[in-house]
Structure formats: C-alpha cells, structure tokens
C-alpha cells in the first residue's frame, strides 16, 4: 500500500482536512465503511444522526507531475487533467446507509471501473499512475436553531495496472 507525503496530502485536503488516500489496482473492487460520531470530554462516542442528510461521493481524473518516492512517502504535484472535453465527474455509490447509527459505505465497483475503462494511461508501461481526487460530502439539514451545514472528507486514489489487465 502506498504511503503519501504530507505535501501531497496537503494539496488535496489542506493542512487539517480529513482525507482518504489509497493506491488501487485497476478493476479492484473496494469499499470503505464510514461512521460519523461525536466524542465528549470523557471520550464517550455518540453516533451523529444522518436523518435528512444528503450524502454524495465524487471523483475526477487528475494529472500527476514529478512523482518521486521519498522517505516520507510518494510525493507529486496534482494538476487538472488536460483533455478536451474535460474529464467527467464520476459518482461513487453510497450503500448500507444506517441513519440512526451514523454509518454508510462508499463503494468502487464494476460500474465505476466501466467509466474509467477508456483511460489510455491505465497501462503498465506508463511511468505515472492514474490519479483521481474528489470528496465525500454530507449535507446536514437545519434543525431547530442549528443552521444547515456540510461535512466532507477529501479523496485521493492512485490507480495502477496489475500487469495483467490494462
């Protein structure tokens, strides 16, 4: 599993943003279980209700420049992908939603890979892996005197070939 340098992660999520960063092999099915909780001063956790919240997860193709493997992890610059037309946003499925427990699952599945299948850089001979950045966004509705607000987790995925399937 790849380790990313702080500089690389900061490009995506800023200095204190939450981020999920992972290297994936092309066509690898994967999922991430998410749980939203609050923690009180005694360390007790309480689920955050997702009732009425809208949850979405999206990624978009990016360009990697200057990939180096450093002592602190993979280091590279992330730029907009230069193509005409520009790359399309890819929606990631949100499943297994349990509002009262504050949990859900984000999935990369066959439908997502089907959207990515035509990328010419999903090839073992390419020096730099394919990169996607994005976010999970949870939009909470206004409740009583509390206004509506959004929470987010930034996403960074490097996609490499397994040498068998391009």
Query: What 3 state SS string does the chain have?
Result: CCCECHHHHHHHHCCCCCEEEEEEECCCCEEEEEECEEECCCCCEEECCCCCCEEEEEEEEEEEEEEEEECCEEEEEEEECCCCCCCCCEECCEEEEECCCCEEEEEECHHHHHHHCCCCCCCCCCCCCEEEEEEEEEEECCECCECCEEEEEEEEEEEECCCCCC
Q: What is the pLDDT of residue 120?
A: 61
| pLDDT values of the chain reduced to their tens digit, one per residue, 166 residues | 578 888 888 888 877 888 888 988 878 889 999 999 999 999 899 999 999 999 999 999 888 888 888 888 888 888 898 888 888 899 999 999 999 999 999 998 877 776 666 666 666 555 667 889 999 999 999 988 989 999 999 999 988 776 665 5
Sign of CA dihedral 103, 98, 106, 16: negative
Question: 108 is written with which tokens?
Answer: 């990369």
Q: Are 141 and 6 in contact (CB under 8 A)?
A: no
- What pTM, to 2 d.p., does this model score? 0.86
Phi first, then psi, for residue 15 (nearest 5°) are -75, -30
Query: Could you give all domains of the chain from N- to C-terminal order, each with its CATH number?
Result: 6-160 (2.60.40)
Q: Are 12 and 76 in contact (CB under 8 A)?
A: no
The structure tokens 């349990």 sit at: 98
Q: Are 49 and 99 in contact (CB under 8 A)?
A: yes
């Amino acid at each position: 599993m790849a380790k990313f340098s702080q500089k690389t992660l900061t490009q995506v999520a800023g200095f204190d943003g939450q981020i999920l960063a992972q290297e994936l092999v092309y066509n690898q099915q994967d999922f991430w279980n998410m749980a939203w909780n609050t923690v009180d001063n005694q360390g007790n956790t309480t689920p955050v209700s997702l009732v009425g919240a809208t949850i979405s997860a999206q990624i978009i193709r990016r360009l990697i420049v200057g990939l180096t493997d450093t002592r602190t992890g993979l280091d590279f610059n992330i730029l907009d992908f230069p193509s005409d037309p520009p790359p399309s946003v890819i929606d990631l499925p949100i499943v297994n939603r349990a509002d009262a427990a504050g949990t859900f699952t984000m999935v990369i599945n066959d439908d997502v890979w089907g959207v990515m299948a035509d990328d010419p850089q999903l090839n073992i001979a390419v020096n730099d892996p394919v990169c996607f950045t994005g976010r999970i966004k949870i939009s909470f509705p206004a409740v009583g005197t509390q206004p509506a607000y959004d929470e987010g987790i930034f996403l960074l995925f490097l996609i490499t070939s397994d040498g068998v399937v391009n």
